[in-house]
Structure formats: C-alpha cells, structure tokens
Amino acid sequence: MKYFLAVDLEGATGVVHHDQLMPDGRGYAAAQRWLTGDINAAIRGICAADAAAEIVVGDGHGIMRNVLLDELDERAMLVVGPGRYENKPLCQCEGIDASFDVGMLIGFHTRAGTPGGLLAHTFVGSTICDLSLNGRVAGEAEIDAAIMASYGVPVGLIVGNSDLEPEVRAWDPTVTFYATKTTLGPTAGICKTPRRTASEIEEIARQVVERRLYSLRENPATTTLTATLYRREMLDRAATVNGVHVVDDRTFSVTHANAAEAFRMFWNAITRTLEDPQPWLK
Ligand SMILES: [Zn+2]
C-alpha cells in the first residue's frame, strides 16, 4: 500500500517556540532532528505492519527543506522544495495523488485564533486571519484531510500538539490522534522526550495500519474556502487570481467541485498576497 505523510514542524517533538522554526533560529537544528525522528518512527510503524509499504513524505513547513534526508528512513521518499504556487499548488500535500491508500499528518498545530494555541496559525500566519471550509472555521489539518479525501485517501493518524486534538475532534471524532506534548500556551508546552515519542509514534502507526483504522471524509458536492486576511492590500493582490471571489474588504472565497482544485486556487491567491518575495518561498 502507498502512504502519504504530510509534515509540519510546530507540532513535532520538542518544538514550542519561534526560534525553532526557521534556519536562523538557534533551536532549528535540534527541531530538524526531532521532526525527522517523529517521521522515522511513523515509517517504522507503517513498515512493521506492511512490509511492502511505499511511503512519500511531504516536507510542508516554512522553507519546506527541514527534514534531514541523510537521517530519513530509506524506505521513504521526500518531497522537498518551497511552497511557491509554481512548485507546490497543494502546499503540504503536494505529491499526493489517487494512487495513495492512506494519509498521515505529522507535526501539526492548531488554527489561527485558537485561544492559548501552541504556535497556532493557518498556513501563512502573517496573512491569514481566518480560513473557513464550507462555512466552518478550519485549520491546516482539516484542509489537508479534505485534499486527501478528494483523492479518495483516508487519514490514518494525526500527530501534533495536545491543543490540536479538540480541533480535530470537531470534524473527525474517530481518527487516531497522538500528542507529542501538552500545550501550556502560545510558546510553551510539557514535552515528551524524542526517545519516548519515537517509540510511542511507532507503536501507534503500526496499530493504525495493522487494524486499518482509517478515516475517510465524505467529499462535499462543492468546496468553498473563504479566507479573511489581515490587510486590505493583501486582498487586492489575491483578487488578481482567476476564480477568486471578493466577499468584502479583507475576505475572498474560491469554490470548486473538487477540494484539491479549490485549494490550488486558494494557494495561488494566498502566495500572491505577499508583497515581496518571502525568504521561505525562495
Ligand atoms: Zn509550519
């Protein structure tokens, strides 16, 4: 079977602070190791239950060159490179297609506006104030699950910060969730050690695959993504994208029968809201 692992960093083992999120931060190198460790644990678990597993990992945080390829389990392949629309119109999910059987989300965090949420934001923290999916506020985990579902791919496991679990339960009461840390506030948590999360993630991933604990979303007839941005001029730039509907001064929406197509339009518009080339998009 084929497995797609969409990966973020804020919900990885030991990551609680902005200085761990980008290459110029003093905690970044350790965060890279811990994230790679979380992914390797999931790969070991998958392969323990499915020796013929084909695994693709999508590096989906910031510069999208975070995972340590040297240290990545050789049974997986890695999607590397910045999330420019020309590269990765599906952002964290780029590389997925209908040939995959199971998706997993590793290193995830809560959506923008979550009270006390650990490193909470939605895709582009400086731009997106609120994002909703068919009228309900949604975070990255749900959006990625919707993209996966549009390819018929169910979600098997979500790994992230403890405050993400209630967010996930609002749209999926049953999917397996594992917390790498207990959230205390926006930049603090009670962290499990990398050794502990490695053994726990491996065991949970193995059980998910062995028992086929997969959760497939129903695809809606149409998908509308509605984004409220922080500033009006951001919307002016987003509005130049074909298919973008301006709702009000700071809000636009895109609609498509297919969730992945709706996301591609959304991502095209969002990456255009950014005035100067962003270091993480270079
Ligand atoms: Zn991230």
Ligand 1 centre to CA of 51 (Å) is 30
> DSSP class of residue 182?
E
Ligand 1 centre to CA of 203 (Å) is 25
CA-CA distances (angstroms) from residue 8 to 59, 138, 163, 228?
Answer: 7, 16, 15, 22
Ligand 1 centre to CA of 65 (Å) is 12
- What pLDDT tens digit does each residue of the chain (282 aa) get? 999 999 999 999 999 999 999 999 999 999 999 999 999 999 999 999 999 999 999 999 999 999 999 999 999 999 999 999 999 999 999 999 999 999 999 999 999 999 999 999 999 999 999 999 999 999 999 999 999 999 999 999 999 999 999 999 999 999 999 999 999 999 999 999 999 999 999 999 999 999 999 999 999 999 999 999 999 999 999 999 999 999 999 999 999 999 999 999 999 999 998 876 677 777
Return the residue matching tokens 């270091």. Answer: 279
Domain parsing of the chain, residue ranges: 2-281
Q: Which two tokens stand for residue 247?
A: 């709702």
Residue 130, beta-bridge partner list? 228
Q: Which residues have C-beta under 5 Å from ligand 1, the single-atom ion?
A: 8-10, 61
**Is there a contact between 268 and 123 (Cβ–Cβ < 8 Å)?**
no
Q: Helix or strand or coil: residue 67?
A: coil
Return the residue matching tokens 């761990």. Answer: 20
Fold designation for 2-281:
Rossmann fold (3.40.50)
φ, ψ for residue 34, nearest 5 deg: -65, -40
